[in-house]
Every structure is written in structure tokens, then in C-alpha cells.
Structure 1
């Protein structure tokens, strides 16, 4: 099997985008028509046609989904967005096709192997959730809702991607920032320095800049990206989702959405949010009080903390009480070495090797391609697109370029991040390990027979768990010392890593509270559908977050997960509960234990969506997952080194 042939010339990209999408859309339509032509077929033959259609739709969709977010040419991004709409339209039409539904509903499941029976069950469930059993007028309205939601979602994401804001400040207001940051931000002809809301600027600035007013100004700009334009778009999206759920017989969107997730019901989302918030409350308040106490050393009259101060004072506490100075830590994390170390570590852990493909065509010179080899055989290809640029996706995510199908096509995935080119914060290293976990999951699960179960195809509230668990390797001293070295070649001291691990425990309480604020916002927006979204933001932040609302900001406008996760942002914390339990099977003194890592790879990752996530976890752990490991972690009080 050969990887997908990408264009080698810039001028060829539009034709590639259009032709691959169009060819596969035509193929999918042909397969749908063939399945409905009245020819008697066995159950296996019907499901084979369905699978071929899934493959064609996937091949029409995957490349346009990633290129719409990363291609440097705006015209190509726009073309890809148009093709996304065409794919979405055909998916909707297929889901509302009664003749096709009747073909699958007539399949006799007796005698089917377990995975084929699972595929049939999922397909019939999807038909029901699409509204195939509704009257013609309702189906027509559901089609309209789906098409409009696709356009709105694209507009919402594009506004976030394109709205890069900035502040301009005098050079002396850079006090506290690393020298390499200052070197990258020289004064312009007016004697001012521009700081943008892109991550390589905003993260170090809010962490190190001594100037509280400048931090606040930048955070206001950051929290106002895509506002006000996304306010109206979000309101319309919420209304469309609510109408869709109602037409399908559900009380609200979260109830509809949760039906196919581990959590099971919309009401359970609210219960989970409050359960975690209650567990985290003592640690969150302890963290907040420590931050406020430290702030009062600078501002005696301070009474509260907001997000413009949190990272800065958390860094001071870690430096003063745990003897961890992030500016000293970052000198061990040169981007090129970190990337190489990540590949070495994950290769060793999962028994794979990454071979650079230097002649592989890519969409931008920053992108690096690697073939993934196991036992000398190529099992997939990955692309790493890790630095920011204009028009590129602003967060960190993994995208599928080609779905892996056993014996038919190699899995190919793309990792999209926005890291600096030189020294990295250790938090960036953790993020890189996390996101790479998704990429590995996609490739290792790319040898399924059924397209529906290929790659990261588990329930949506489990997909973060493997990546969150992989973060643990970015905190291990032996792991870090294998690639984290300073300019003189000295590896990061094990004692420093020990203090880093102690310091990272500070803040877990308030971080959990903030995550529950985000989760509650994602959920309540879809149950309450408020006319004034900013007012709900303020209300929920006051209830769940220990940090006060920053006046004049509209966080929800750039909360990109409201477009893809919709009402289910709780999944990050749900997955973390499971991740802590998964990690309990590993020996912290021997993180590369081949037996455990291999069993985890084969039992959880490689199986993709071929079984329910709860069953995958139980197969690995030998028992159902529990909250115990997470609760123990949350209850542990960090021990300062000094002070």
C-alpha cells in the first residue's frame, strides 16, 4: 500500500483538493445507488457495499478537513471548505435515505461476526438519529438544519483562526520575559513592540511579564478574539441544534448528543460536572488563596484573582516555593531536540520507528513527514505541522488525512500545533506529547476492516484519555533526560524534574475548577440557550471557577470546542478520570515495560472503535474503570520545597 500522493507544486493543490473530493463523492453516490438496485445480496455483501461507501465518504472528507485549517493559500482553504459542505450534504442525504435504510434494516444479523454485527447496529442507530423514520417534511427540515450548521460551524472556526489581535507596548514593558522572546520582538519604527494573541506570544507573556497592566491588556485581546461576529453565529448554532434534537424526539441537544457517548445521558453531564467540581473545591480554594496571598506581596489591597494574573503568580509560587523557574527549565527544551525525543520515546514505548520522508510533498515548508514502521513494515504516515503562520488553525489538534483500512489504504494523520521555533516551555512539551498521543492512536488503530471503526473511532468522551495518559511520560526524569539538554549538552537534572513534578501538583485544583467552568458553559449553552451569552459566562465562571470574570471580555466567541465538542466539553475531565486509572497499570519506575505497553497498545489503541471504550479499558485493567485513582490524585497536597 502506498501513501496518498500529495501535490509537489503549489499550483496543483486546487485540482488535488477538488478531484479527490469529487471522485470519492461520485463513488459514494454510485455505491448508494448500487445498494438500492434491488439485487438480492447476502448480509456480508450489503455490509461490504456500506463499508465501501464509508471509505469513499471518508476519502472525500479527510483531506479537505485538514487543508481547510492549514493550507497557506486562502483560496485552497476556501475551496476545501466548499468541498466539506458537499461531503456533509451527501452524508445527510444518506442518513435520510429511506430506501437505503430499508436495505440495511432487512439484513439478517444472524450468523454475522461480532464486528460486522456491531457495524450493522451502529449504522441502523445512525439512521434513526438522522431522522430517517420521520415524515417527509421533517426530513426536509433536518436536511436544511444540517446544511446550515455546517456553514455556521465553518464560519465560527474561520473567525477564530483569522482573528489575530495584538497590543503594542514600549520595550521596557517586556521586563520579566526571556531574552530570546525579546530578541524575537524588536521595537518597530515607532519604538513599540507588537505582541499578538497567537500562542507563542500570549503564553509566555501572561506567564513572565512583570507588567500587570500589559498582561491584562493582552488577555482582554485574547479573550475577545472572534467577538462580536461569533456571538450571533453561536446563537444560531444553538438554535439549530435544539430544533434538530426536538425533531428527533429528544428533550434537548445534550440528551441527543450524549446518547452515543460513554456518559449515556444529558442529565448525567450536569451530575458529572458538579461531582468533579465538588471533589476539586478544597484544592481549588487552597490554590486560589495561595495565589492571592502571593499577589498581595505586590498589591496589598488585592482581593481576587483573574485570568490575567493567574499564570504569572502560579509561576512565581513554583519558582519561590518549589524552586522551579520556568525560564531556567525552558533552556533544556529546544524544539528540534524535543521533537526528536518525542519520536524516540513513543517509538520505544509502542514498538514502532519513524523514518523521515524528506522527499514527501507537503503543503508548507514547516511540515515534516515520517513513515511509521513496525517490525520493518510501514503501517502509516504522519505529518507534523508544528509552527504558527497566518491563516492556520490556532490551537493544537490531530487531523486524519487518510483512514487506515486493512489491506486497502494506509492510515495517515496530521498533527497541527503552534509552538515556537526555539526554546519551548515545558507546558508545550506536555501538549506535544498529548497531541501526539492522538496521532499514534489514529495510526495504530488504522488496520481495521470496517472504516467505521478505524483510527480514533471510540466514543467522543474517551478519545482524550490515551493522550492524557501519554502526558505522564513528559514528566518522568529518565524520559526527559534522554532528550532535554541545555546549550552545553548537559541533560536536565533529575532533581529539577523532581521539583517540577511537585510544582505541577500546585494548580491542579484551580485548573480542574476552570475545566468545569468550561464544561458547564458548553452544557448550559445548549440547555438554556441564553439571549445574553456573556451573562451566562459570568454566572458560570462565578460558580465553578476560582478566578473572577475579566470585565469586557467574551471568552465564548473564541471557545472553538463549542463548534466540534458542542455540549460535551466535559469529556476532557471524563477522559482524565479514565487516564489516571489507565496509568495505574504502569510501574512509574519502569515506564517502558514492554509487556504492559504492548498490552495497552494492542488492547486499547489498536482496536480503534471495534468495541465500546468501557470494554477496552476493562480488558486492559482487568476490571471496570473507577474514579479512585483520580480522586487520590486530586486529594494529594503538593509539598513545597522551600518557604
Structure 2
């Protein structure tokens, strides 16, 4: 195993420390980009008679480029010092600029066009690599004239800037509501203890998840629920709209310039779904399948709501979370505040490691290494069974609590992609959880996101950077993580780490009620997801050509129209949730991915029979044939290899109707 990356030992919270970090980021990016450039110069003069060697040079150059982009993306989202975040974002821009430059270089394209694919017979991964590289060039527009290539380059650079600016707006726009403490009735005692009264006799509630979600669920004061929901849905407004409008228009221009009808068609061309036109078809299929479950869910919710508001014809959107919680408590006997008492953060984190270690044959050893914040916990990952038993597989960093200037959602970030003999995989989990008791939904989220981290580490031991880590089609990326959520719903699994203050494990009967209560809201969940997916698709499908002087579309109006067509809940007057919907950046037109992946995840999980969640044969086969393969084969083929058949909609349909 190669050495792991050494991060600066300087304290990132001091002036001197942040300067040291800034220098390290700049030097890391510069050295990696220089190494990438040197290898690409070798590609230009390499012997075409050895296509495998040419491809290897290109792949290694891509690995160095990825190292620069990864450190930029990660530290631009998590480092506490603004100076470091700015330099990191510049590093990511520089890496993207160089990638674009290469993609539009006709000389480089000619090198790969001239390679003899037949000479790679017997090496299917090298053949796959050549096909991928040629397709990359085809999609880049390298065959266009010089003026067009220059325009494509300018668009690509501007899109990187816009994506970063939009992410920054969504990350940094934290809004607050200040309330008298008596308005916090219903909130858990531990939450209230963490929110002291200030010198004005008020309590500040932010729109960060650890604040906003409990308030929306538990606060008895309807006005407070309305205020925090409104503030939450207003994040990013109005700053984000012109950024998004320009982003959508430029993506459309880029796609049409390289020969596609629109951006969704361009984006879907390299995904499992295949075509842009298939996206709205999939959205409508899920929306139709969820129609009856949604009707049942809303009827139950409205019946409970009318006990408090007899004249209501629909539930107010700012009341939905609270009344869903009341339904679970009253009809399913699930009190989320009681449930929280079993999910102490420290025990949950350790339980996650024990569960996934047992499942996949791994051992996590805590290590004291330098990182960007004192909250970060680091572990080296070892193989605990199989042919590689005892081998170091990589390193993970868990950055799991909210703070100013940090990415506001939950995601896995790459620090280093892994390739056998060159560098070990290192990944980072970035979340925003409470330091004390967790909602069970957050436990599920932690399992989900850790699934991405495992995918990254386990698929970091092949021969090609191109296929390392989570390198599969983007609409399959969520499936392994969604499947891992199932272990956060099993009573025996939960009882191994979910204990209350007296060390009593969570009762199996309570877990069964939690599962039944979770089933109650599936129709609402599915239609909400389809609203998000439709917004993601149609914002990109019909952008205004602002370069031709057209009037930009009103994104709020479009959002309201799509919400009315697909969503479970009505629009909250005066809000603009798209302005902080960060997935419009990274997922672009492909937010349907989450539900597409869930369909596959339910099918994958069907291989684990009841009571056999730790079957070593099934788990090992899944680990080796799906996770560890990364992007070495098409996702549909990986799934078929594991299941012994093609994936189907059946398991998802049964789950949705249950």
C-alpha cells in the first residue's frame, strides 16, 4: 500500500495556521497539475503501436488532475478559513480549465483516434478505457472549428465559476429567527439546552438542519413553524436566481453546440437512462405509481389537521412536518422524541462502523492525523476477511457536525482516488448532525452517506483512475447507499448500538412501529421527490437564450407550476426554495437519479433474505461484484452479475404499495 496523504499539521483556526493551509493547497494543486501536464506531453509523442501504454499515460495524467480538483472541491466546502476556501475554489477552477483545454485539443484527439483497438484484445478494461476516452472527446466538441472550441472553453470555465458561486450562496446564506423561549414549547430538552437565552431574552434559531428540522417537527407554536420554514425556503434568494438562469442557458448552449438537442439529452447520454426524453417519462411513471399512496397519506394527514383546523381544505406546508409527526405519534405510537433517546451520536457513529465492518469484512482503526477541523474523526480501513485480510485499504475522514462556512447538506467528498500501487483511496464524509441525540432520519442519512464512502474506498484498488471509486453512471451512484439504509431499519442491527441513557437497547416493538410509521409517508415522499426531479429537468429543458436578448424565465413561476403538478404539498406563498436547491449544480437535470437508484436499491436488497442481513456469501458477492468494481463495467451489468438477472421495477413497486 502506498503512503497516505499528509495534510498540514498547522492549526486551521489561527492566522498562521490558515496561511500554512493556504500555501499547502496552492502547492498541492500546482504540483499535481504540473505532473498532469508532463504526462500529457508524453502522450503527444508516445508510440501508437503500444496503445495500452498511451492510455496508461493519459489515465495517470487524469489521476493527477483529479488530485488537484479533489482537494479544491473538498477544502472549498469544509475549511473554516475563508482564505483557504477561496484558494481551494481557484484550484478546482484551474483543474477544470486544464481538463477543458485537453478535451478540446485536436492533436490529443488525433492520438487516440489513431490507436488500434484490436491491439487491446484480451484486455477488456483497456478497451473500455479507449472507448470512454474517444467518447469524451466526441462529447467535448473537439471536432468543431477553432472559434467554436474557444467558445466551448469559455462556457466551461464560466460554468465552473457559476457552480461554485451557487454552492457558496447555498452554503453561506444561513438565516435566523429570534424568538421568546416560551415559543419553543414542544422542542426536546437537549435541543433547548443547546439554545440559551441571549441578553435580549430571546433564543436564536438558524436555518441549519440541526436547528430547523426539530423546530419544524416539534414546535407547537404555528407561527414559529411558519417563520422557520419560510426562512429555510428563502435561503439563497434573490442572489441565486441570476446565477442559475445563466447556468441553465450556458449548459443548453454547450449541449446544442456539440450536437445534442438540449442539456438533459447531453447529460443523459452517459447515464443508465440513456436519453433526455426518458427522464420525464420516468418522473411520470413514479408520480402515477405514487398517486394512490399519496391520496391515502394526505387523507390521514388532513383528517388529523382538521381536528385543530376544522375548516382546512389542505394542510399548510409549514405545518406538514409537525402534523406528520403527530400522525406517527398518535396512530403509530411513535414518539420521535422518545426515539431520539436511543440515538446518541457517539454510539451511532461507532455502531455504524461495527455494522459495516461486520457486513463487508472491514476493520476501522482510529488514527490521530492532521485535518482541517477538530471535529473530524479519522480512521484507517483494513480488510478483516478474505484474500486481503490485514491489508490497509484506505483512510476515511468523518466531518459530521455543522459549523459556519461549511457545506450545509450531506455528501461524500473525494480526497484521493485509489489505484493499486500508486495511491490509496481516501474519502471524506461531510454532514451536519447534532452532537447529542439524533433523529432516526439522521441515522438513516448517516448510513446512506457512509455507503458512498465505502464505495469510494472499496473501488480504489484497480488499475485505472478512470474506473476508481464511485465512477459508475451517475444515476446508479445512489443505489448502493440507498440499499445500506436498510440496515438502519433492522431491529437487531439497531439494538447493537441504539441504547438509551440506562443502556437499554431500543425495543424491537418500537422499531416495528417506526417502520410502519415510515411506510405511512411513502406517497408524500415519492411525489415530493418527483417535484424536485421535474424542476431539475424542466429548468434545463426550457432555458431562455439570454445571449440573444430573450427575457429570462421566471424560475419561481416555473417552480410553482411544477409543484402544483407533482408535489404532495402546496406552495408556500413568497418562497423560492430552488435558490438553495444545491442539486441544481452537481446533479443538473438529473435529480431523477435518486428515485431511479432507489428502484435498483430495492431490487439489490431483495438478495438479502429476511434474517440474513449479514450473510457473508451474499455480502461478499455484493462487495466484490458491485462496490469493488467501481466503473469497470456498466452499472446494469454489475447489478446483473450480482443478482443473476437484470434489475426490475417489481421490488420497488411492492415497497411503494405496501
| d(CA) in 1 for partners of 2:201, 2:60 | 61
1:351 paired residue number: 361
1:582-634 deviation per Cα after TM superposition (whole angstroms, max 9, x unaligned): 00000121100101000000010000000000000000011000000000111
Aligned with 1:371 (options 370, 380, 390) = 380
| Deviation (angstroms), 1:39 | 4.8
1:517 paired residue number: 531
| d(CA) in 2 for partners of 1:336, 1:41 | 57
2:480 paired residue number: 466
2:112 paired residue number: 104
| d(CA) in 1 for partners of 2:563, 2:257 | 32
- 3-state SS in 1 of match to 2:401: coil
Alignment of 1:327-338 (within 5 A): 327-338=337-348
Aligned with 1:402 (options 413, 416, 429) = 416
Alignment of 1:343-492 (within 5 A): 343-358=353-368, 360-374=369-383, 375-492=389-506
Whether contact under 8 Å (2:378, 2:395) holds in the other structure is yes
| Deviation (angstroms), 1:230 | 0.2
1:84 paired residue number: 92
1:640 paired residue number: none
Kindly indicate whether residue 77 of structure 2 is the aligned counterpart of residue 69 of structure 1. Answer: yes
Whether contact under 8 Å (2:49, 2:115) holds in the other structure is no
| Deviation (angstroms), 1:40 | 5.1
| d(CA) in 1 for partners of 2:515, 2:353 | 22
| d(CA) in 2 for partners of 1:173, 1:335 | 27
- 1:303/1:245 Cα in 2 relative to 1: closer, same or farther (>3 Å)? same
| d(CA) in 1 for partners of 2:51, 2:390 | 37
Kindly indicate whether residue 209 of structure 2 is the aligned counterpart of residue 199 of structure 1. Answer: yes
2:549 paired residue number: none
Whether contact under 8 Å (1:405, 1:451) holds in the other structure is yes
- 1:373/1:406 Cα in 2 relative to 1: closer, same or farther (>3 Å)? same
| d(CA) in 2 for partners of 1:386, 1:45 | 42
- 3-state SS in 2 of match to 1:417: strand
1:5 paired residue number: 6
| d(CA) in 1 for partners of 2:395, 2:342 | 29
Whether contact under 8 Å (1:168, 1:194) holds in the other structure is yes
Alignment of 1:508-547 (within 5 A): 508-529=522-543, 531-547=553-569
Whether contact under 8 Å (1:458, 1:608) holds in the other structure is yes
| d(CA) in 1 for partners of 2:470, 2:514 | 31
2:547 paired residue number: none
| d(CA) in 2 for partners of 1:145, 1:41 | 36
Alignment of 1:14-93 (within 5 A): 14-37=22-45, 39=47, 41-93=49-101
| Deviation (angstroms), 1:229 | 0.4
| Deviation (angstroms), 1:482 | 0.2
Whether contact under 8 Å (1:285, 1:546) holds in the other structure is no
| Deviation (angstroms), 1:243 | 0.4
Whether contact under 8 Å (2:47, 2:54) holds in the other structure is no
Deviates more, 1:32-41 or 1:299-308: 32-41
Kindly indicate whether residue 309 of structure 2 is the aligned counterpart of residue 303 of structure 1. Answer: no
2:599 paired residue number: 577
Whether contact under 8 Å (2:381, 2:393) holds in the other structure is yes
- 3-state SS in 1 of match to 2:117: coil
- 1:22/1:181 Cα in 2 relative to 1: closer, same or farther (>3 Å)? same
1:275-323 deviation per Cα after TM superposition (whole angstroms, max 9, x unaligned): 0000001101111121111111111111112431111111111111111
Aligned with 1:94 (options 102, 127, 147) = 102
2:570 paired residue number: 548
- 3-state SS in 2 of match to 1:110: helix
1:190-223 deviation per Cα after TM superposition (whole angstroms, max 9, x unaligned): 1111110000001111011111111011011001
| d(CA) in 1 for partners of 2:53, 2:445 | 44
- 3-state SS in 1 of match to 2:381: strand
- 1:38/1:396 Cα in 2 relative to 1: closer, same or farther (>3 Å)? closer
Question: Where does the alignment leave 5 or more consecutive residues of structure 2 unmatched?
Answer: 12-16, 384-388, 545-552
Q: TM-score under structure 1 normalisation?
A: 0.98
Question: Where does the alignment leave 5 or more consecutive residues of structure 1 unmatched?
Answer: 637-643
| Deviation (angstroms), 1:406 | 0.9
- 1:519/1:319 Cα in 2 relative to 1: closer, same or farther (>3 Å)? same
| Deviation (angstroms), 1:37 | 2.7
Kindly indicate whether residue 173 of structure 2 is the aligned counterpart of residue 163 of structure 1. Answer: yes
| d(CA) in 1 for partners of 2:324, 2:304 | 9
Aligned with 2:287 (options 277, 280, 283) = 277
Kindly indicate whether residue 173 of structure 2 is the aligned counterpart of residue 151 of structure 1. Answer: no
- 1:34/1:543 Cα in 2 relative to 1: closer, same or farther (>3 Å)? same
- 3-state SS in 1 of match to 2:488: helix
| d(CA) in 2 for partners of 1:55, 1:424 | 38
| d(CA) in 2 for partners of 1:307, 1:379 | 46
1:500 paired residue number: 514
- 3-state SS in 1 of match to 2:341: helix
- 3-state SS in 2 of match to 1:348: helix
| d(CA) in 2 for partners of 1:133, 1:40 | 21
Aligned with 1:127 (options 99, 115, 137) = 137
Q: RMSD in angstroms over aligned alpha carbons?
A: 0.9
Matched pairs, number: 635
Whether contact under 8 Å (2:67, 2:417) holds in the other structure is yes
1:549-587 deviation per Cα after TM superposition (whole angstroms, max 9, x unaligned): 000100110000000000000000000000000000001
2:641 paired residue number: 619
- 1:39/1:376 Cα in 2 relative to 1: closer, same or farther (>3 Å)? closer
| d(CA) in 1 for partners of 2:24, 2:199 | 43
1:520-559 deviation per Cα after TM superposition (whole angstroms, max 9, x unaligned): 0000001122610000111011110120000010011000
1:426-448 deviation per Cα after TM superposition (whole angstroms, max 9, x unaligned): 00000000000000000000011
Q: TM-score under structure 2 normalisation?
A: 0.96
| d(CA) in 2 for partners of 1:424, 1:42 | 56
| Deviation (angstroms), 1:63 | 1.2
Aligned with 1:289 (options 299, 315, 330) = 299
1:55-106 deviation per Cα after TM superposition (whole angstroms, max 9, x unaligned): 1111111111100000011100000001111101000001001101111111
| d(CA) in 2 for partners of 1:63, 1:148 | 20
1:639 paired residue number: none
| d(CA) in 2 for partners of 1:377, 1:75 | 38
Kindly indicate whether residue 118 of structure 2 is the aligned counterpart of residue 116 of structure 1. Answer: no
| d(CA) in 2 for partners of 1:472, 1:99 | 50
Whether contact under 8 Å (2:48, 2:114) holds in the other structure is no
- 1:40/1:470 Cα in 2 relative to 1: closer, same or farther (>3 Å)? closer
Deviates more, 1:527-536 or 1:362-371: 527-536
